[in-house]
Every structure is written in C-alpha cells, then in structure tokens.
C-alpha cells in the first residue's frame, strides 16, 4: 500500500485556500498511485485559532464534509483530515477518514487534549475508531494521543496494524516524531503515519518533522521543516525508498 503524508503550512482560518491545498496534495498523491493522504490536526479551520474553533465548526454532513468527499471521489484517493466538529452544543477536535469513493469510513475525536487552549475549545473523545483499509485494520489517533502507549496498545489488541495521526506538534517537541512515534510503532508492531505542520500560526511555531514509521520502529519516510508531501510504500516486502515532493514539484509529475 502506498501512503502519503502532507506536511503543510497551517490554515490560519483561510478556508478556501485550505481546500485548494487539500486538492493540490490529493491530486499529486493520486498521480503516483498513493491510496491515502494524511493531513494535519485541525486543518479546518486551523489549530492555533481558538477564536474560530466554535465559530466555524461544522457537523458531519455539512459543507466541509461534502466538499472533502467530492474531492476524494474525484481523485479516487482516500484522505485523513483533522477538523473542528460540532455536535449540538459540544465541539470536538476530530479527524475523519474519507474513502476513495468519498464515503466516511473512520471518524475519531481526540481523547488526550493538550494544554489549556484545547481544554477550553474542545470536549474529550471517549472511544476509538477502527476500520478496514485496503486489507489492513486501521485507526486514527490525534497528536498527543499517540504519546500515550496505552492507546496504541489498545488499538493493537483490536488488530490494528496501521495508525493515522494528524498532529499540530510545536517546535521544541521534535522528540515526539524522532523518539516517541518510533517507540510506539516498535512496541506494538504497527505502522504510524504522523502528519504535522511547518511554519507558524497565530504566534505558534510548528516542528515539522512529519514521519512514516514501520512496525519495526524504523523510519520509512521523514521530512524536515518545509512544505513536503511524503509518499512511501508501507508493504514490508517492498523497497523502503520514498518520494518527497516540495510544493513546486507537483506540476512535474507524469500523469
């Protein structure tokens, strides 16, 4: 299975530009036959924008989900994306997997909220979400969740072999992608795809260093601190070489 991780600049409330970025990355990934692209945490409407979380949050089935589903179906490429979800009076830090036909196949609400901002903006999730994905059992965790070994262990015990992790990991916490994510992978023999931002948003600088780690804890693909689309084949019997595309490279891909 070929998967992609999108390391991008944060949305910062620019919703229409976010959809342009989403489609650009999905188009590039589909042209090299990737089955899925993982985008960062709270891609919509932005992570460090607590002023927008409640104001712009949407429910499943509203405009954001409809537009995302249409894009996924158009490129026949699945995607995992973080967003602010409204349910009644409650707001959740959520992430959803849209299949390559646009249907929702996995939906998760962040359990481990990080810092005062997240506690003020969001309610806590209370259950895992697992789903079949191209012959594997997959699940979603969000950022801080993956730092807790009990969550990865609980998923592995349910047969999960692939975990998608949208994140908004700040600068100064590079050890998460370099040490903790590989540790979680090797402890439970799972593949983890960890998608972070680069750049800054509303005064918060992000660490970049997105990574895809195999079940032996070894990196299959990793980024630095620039906008990058990581693409690699996670099958254990395949060459671990990967493709790392800068945004300016996308138009050079062959159809």
Distance CA 130, CA 105 (A): 9
12-70 pLDDT per residue, tens: 999 999 999 999 999 999 999 999 999 999 999 999 999 999 999 999 999 999 999 99
Instruction: Please tell me whether residue 45 adopts helix, strand or coil conformation.
Output: coil
Domains and CATH numbers, the chain: 2-252 (3.60.110.10)
Residue 244: its pLDDT value, please? 57
Cite the active site residues.
Answer: 41, 110, 143
What is the 3-state secondary structure of 221-244?
EECCCCCEEEEEECCCCCCCCEEE
**Are residues 140 and 163 in contact, defined by beta-carbon separation less than 8 angstroms?**
yes
- pLDDT of 248 strictly over 80: no
108-159 pLDDT per residue, tens: 999 999 999 999 999 999 999 999 999 999 999 999 999 999 999 999 999 9
Question: Dihedral angle at the C-alpha atoms of 230, 224, 220, 252, nearest 10 degrees?
Answer: 30
Instruction: Please tell me whether residue 117 adopts helix, strand or coil conformation.
Output: helix
Average pLDDT of the chain is: 93
Q: What is the pTM of this model?
A: 0.93
């Amino acid at each position: 299975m070929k998967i992609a991780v999108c390391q991008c600049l944060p949305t910062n409330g620019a919703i229409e530009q976010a959809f342009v970025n989403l489609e650009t990355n999905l188009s590039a990934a589909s042209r090299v036959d990737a089955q899925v692209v993982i985008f960062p945490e709270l891609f919509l409407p932005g992570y460090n924008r607590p002023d927008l979380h409640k104001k712009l949050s949407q429910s499943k089935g509203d405009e954001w989900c409809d537009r995302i589903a249409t894009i996924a179906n158009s490129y026949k490429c699945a995607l995992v994306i973080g967003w602010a979800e409204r349910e009644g009076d409650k707001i959740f830090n959520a992430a959803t997997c849209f299949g390559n036909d646009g249907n929702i196949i996995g939906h998760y609400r962040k359990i481990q909220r990080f810092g005062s901002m997240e506690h003020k903006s969001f309610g806590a999730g209370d259950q895992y979400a697992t789903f079949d994905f191209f012959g594997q059992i997959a699940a979603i965790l969000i950022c801080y969740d993956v730092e807790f070994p009990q969550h990865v262990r609980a998923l592995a015990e349910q047969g999960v072999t692939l975990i998608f992790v949208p994140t908004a990991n700040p600068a100064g916490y590079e050890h998460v992608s370099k040490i903790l994510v590989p540790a979680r992978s090797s402890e439970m023999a799972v593949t983890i795809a960890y998608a972070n931002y680069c750049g800054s948003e509303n005064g918060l600088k992000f660490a970049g260093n997105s990574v895809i780690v195999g079940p032996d804890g070894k990196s299959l693909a990793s980024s630095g601190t620039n906008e990058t689309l990581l693409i690699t084949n996670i099958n254990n019997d395949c060459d671990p070489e990967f493709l790392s595309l800068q945004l300016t490279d996308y138009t050079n891909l062959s159809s």
